[in-house]
Chains A and B, each alone.
Chain A
Amino acid sequence: MFLAWNEFRRNKLRYGLLSLIMIAVLFLVFFITALSNGLGYADSAAMSNLKTEYVILSEEAEGVLIKSELNNDDLDELFDLLGEQYSPFAITVSGLEKVNERTVDVAYFTVDTERYGDVTITEGKNLRELEDNEVVADESLKRFGYELHDTIKDSRTDIEMTIAGFTEDHVYSHMPVIFTDASIGFQSFYRMEDTYNAVFYQGSEMDLEHYDMQTLEDTIRTIPGYSETQGSFMMMKSFLFIISVFVSSVFFYVITLQKTHQFGILKAIGAQTWYIAKSILLQVAFITLLGLMLSSLAFYGIVQLMPEEMPVQLSWQLIVGTGGLFLILNMFGAMLSIWKVAKIDALEAIGRME
């Protein structure tokens, strides 16, 4: 404690710079991780949160949900095959009319509100409770100024709807999702007849003629660009992580190695290796924790300053986890050089070997 503190006080510039590097590195890790998490989330969160085990698509779709087309005849056939455990699903991308401003892009998820099941509701009604022309929208719609009980108007069909509830974590291709009942009619948006993308099914897997049945995970994986997007985010995050952990622990290794001579003196006047190690570990822990605190503060501040449309997502678990890992690996880097000191004679470190 005595050694560690005095060294800080005496070498303010050196340790100040080191802390600054630590803050910058951690900030970068947090920021990039949050951004890529957010982008990955905005891309397909709504798909991951669909309430189903299996997705049934038309055969020609080759597993890709938005290429799949099922008409009313198909639905009847599937109803005969599957019974009550099924619910139809359609995605329609459109826009909302906004006064004096550009339209807001949204994705309508047309479902059978009686069958689809409950979604996480943050405000208002759930799907089952919806009445005529009422919808449940994702919270991200609030950013555009919409509130509960507001009336929204589709810009292409001029259909008017009321927001009766808000859900969370339903974003599709960076667009807020609006759950609508089939009675509103977006499933016949492009054609004169009803066209669904898929039928959801809970139960045991079975082989269907003319249709493909696959798990929800497989369906998400076949979203065009999904694996490419998530894959590159993953690679970016892990490389950033490895490089920054490596840089910071090597920093501590080198800065400790520089002090070999001092450790030799300390050992010669009778200090045990643990006494030296304690002071080093204290320093590493202090700098890392300081960096962690200030960088998460800086991250928080930047998020407040950024426009709300910027998708950033970072859980406190990730911050704590990242901090913990940095702490351990930085200490490991410092211990590596202490281990060297423990091995060599005090004599050698002093440089007085005849």
Chain B
Amino acid sequence: MMGRSILEIKHVTKDFGDGNSTIRVLKNINLTVKQGEFIAVVGPSGSGKSTLLSVIGALLTPTEGDILIDQEVVHLQSKKRFNQLRAGKIGFIFQSDNLIPYLNVSGQLKLVNQIAKNNKSTGQKRANELLSRLDLLQRRNNYPAELSGGEKQRVAIARAFMNDPSIILADEPTASLDSVRGRKVVEMISQEVKSRNKAAIMVTHDERMLDLCDKVYVMKDGCLARE
């Protein structure tokens, strides 16, 4: 089941400069994630976890080193290709739900399909399937304001999987949920990753979720190490 590597990070560093001083946030990061793997990154705040996720997600460009998603070097791409990459290969789940407030649940998924320029009817089928798996079918016409925190996060998961991405990047997906709901959300991510043979990286503070992950890495002062 674990075959092809989906994500390869090679010697990645990231500097943030504010004019006269630069801070090295990521120091020589190496990481490979294979199909079907669900990886957790833990560490104190300010250690560079979210920066790592942003660099992988083509939201930031690394200062040095290479990132390959599906054997394609990410940061050499044009800005337009960045967007296409995000739309096609990467699914984001953010810390807070970050849904579009004026779209109902099925609208949120339809939007992703539209941005990725995918076929309408396959998108419809895919959306139905995702909603039923995540137990959201009866909430499909509700708007984010009418959903509970757990439901919103489940919609966010459905949205992240909607474009059939190669890799899911989850940034503290449980931060706004209580532990029971949080665990359920992480279980769902894990299930989706396994059943669809995807890869996922989750940044979290929550140590109780780690048993659901295949590998746990610790981020400390910009260095990444296997626990």
| Residues of A that sit less than 8 Å from B by CB | 2-3, 6-7, 9-11, 262, 265-272, 275, 345-347, 350, 352-354
B102 touches A350 (CB 8 A): no
B143 touches A347 (CB 8 A): no
Picked from A3, A10, A272, A350, the residue with its CB within 8 Å of the CB of B98 is: A350
Produce 1/0 per residue, B90-126, CB < 8 A to A.
1010110011111100010011101110000000000
Chain B residue with minimal CB distance to A270? B87
Interface residues of B in 72-91 (CB under 8 A from A): 80, 83-88, 90
| Residues of B that sit less than 8 Å from A by CB | 25, 45-46, 48-51, 54, 57, 59-60, 80, 83-88, 90, 92, 94-95, 98-103, 107, 110-112, 114-116, 143, 159, 163, 171
Decide: A354 near B50, CB < 8 A? Known: A2-B110, A346-B59.
yes
The contact sample of 6 A-B pairs, CB cut-off 8 A, is A3-B100, A10-B102, A267-B86, A270-B115, A347-B60, A352-B171
How many contacts A-B (CB < 8 Å)? 79
* Chain B positions within 8 Å of A267 at CB level: 83, 86
A11 and B57 CA atoms in complex are apart in Å by: 32
A270 and B160 CA atoms in complex are apart in Å by: 11
Decide: A270 near B83, CB < 8 A? Known: A346-B59, A350-B98, A352-B94.
yes
Chain B residue with minimal CB distance to A7? B102
Decide: A2 near B92, CB < 8 A? Known: A268-B86, A272-B83, A352-B171.
no
A345 touches B60 (CB 8 A): yes
A265 touches B100 (CB 8 A): yes
A271 touches B83 (CB 8 A): yes
A10 and B59 CA atoms in complex are apart in Å by: 30
Chain A residue with minimal CB distance to B54? A347
Decide: A354 near B46, CB < 8 A? Known: A6-B103, A346-B59.
yes
Q: Least Cβ distance of A271 to chain B in Å?
A: 5
* Chain A positions within 8 Å of B50 at CB level: 352-354
A346 and B25 CA atoms in complex are apart in Å by: 19
A353 and B100 CA atoms in complex are apart in Å by: 20
Q: Least Cβ distance of B144 to chain A in Å?
A: 10
* Chain B positions within 8 Å of A271 at CB level: 83, 87, 115
A269 touches B102 (CB 8 A): no
A7 and B88 CA atoms in complex are apart in Å by: 25
A272 and B86 CA atoms in complex are apart in Å by: 10
A269 touches B159 (CB 8 A): yes
Q: Least Cβ distance of B18 to chain A in Å?
A: 13
* Chain B positions within 8 Å of A270 at CB level: 83-88, 90, 112, 115-116, 163
A354 and B83 CA atoms in complex are apart in Å by: 22
A268 touches B59 (CB 8 A): yes
B86 touches A262 (CB 8 A): no
A3 touches B163 (CB 8 A): no
A262 touches B116 (CB 8 A): no
* Chain A positions within 8 Å of B60 at CB level: 345, 347
Chain B residue with minimal CB distance to A342? B79
A272 and B112 CA atoms in complex are apart in Å by: 12
A354 and B53 CA atoms in complex are apart in Å by: 11
Chain B residue with minimal CB distance to A5? B102
A270 and B83 CA atoms in complex are apart in Å by: 4
Chain B residue with minimal CB distance to A8? B102
A11 and B54 CA atoms in complex are apart in Å by: 32
Picked from A266, A346, A352, the residue with its CB within 8 Å of the CB of B100 is: A266
A269 touches B59 (CB 8 A): no
A231 and B90 CA atoms in complex are apart in Å by: 63
A28 and B101 CA atoms in complex are apart in Å by: 34
B102 touches A11 (CB 8 A): yes
A47 and B125 CA atoms in complex are apart in Å by: 75
A107 and B196 CA atoms in complex are apart in Å by: 91
A267 and B59 CA atoms in complex are apart in Å by: 9
Q: Least Cβ distance of A12 to chain B in Å?
A: 11
* Chain B positions within 8 Å of A11 at CB level: 102
A3 and B60 CA atoms in complex are apart in Å by: 26
Q: Least Cβ distance of A256 to chain B in Å?
A: 14
Picked from B94, B107, B115, B116, the residue with its CB within 8 Å of the CB of A350 is: B94
Picked from A2, A268, A345, A354, the residue with its CB within 8 Å of the CB of B111 is: A2
* Chain A positions within 8 Å of B84 at CB level: 270
* Chain A positions within 8 Å of B110 at CB level: 2
Picked from A9, A10, A269, A347, the residue with its CB within 8 Å of the CB of B115 is: A269
Closest 3 CB pairs of A and B: A270-B87, A10-B102, A270-B86
A2 and B110 CA atoms in complex are apart in Å by: 9
* Chain A positions within 8 Å of B95 at CB level: 352
Q: Least Cβ distance of A17 to chain B in Å?
A: 16
Q: Least Cβ distance of A44 to chain B in Å?
A: 54
B59 touches A354 (CB 8 A): no
Chain B residue with minimal CB distance to A267? B83
B46 touches A347 (CB 8 A): no
* Chain B positions within 8 Å of A350 at CB level: 94, 98
* Chain A positions within 8 Å of B159 at CB level: 269
Decide: A269 near B114, CB < 8 A? Known: A352-B94, A354-B46.
no
* Chain A positions within 8 Å of B46 at CB level: 354
Q: Least Cβ distance of A255 to chain B in Å?
A: 13
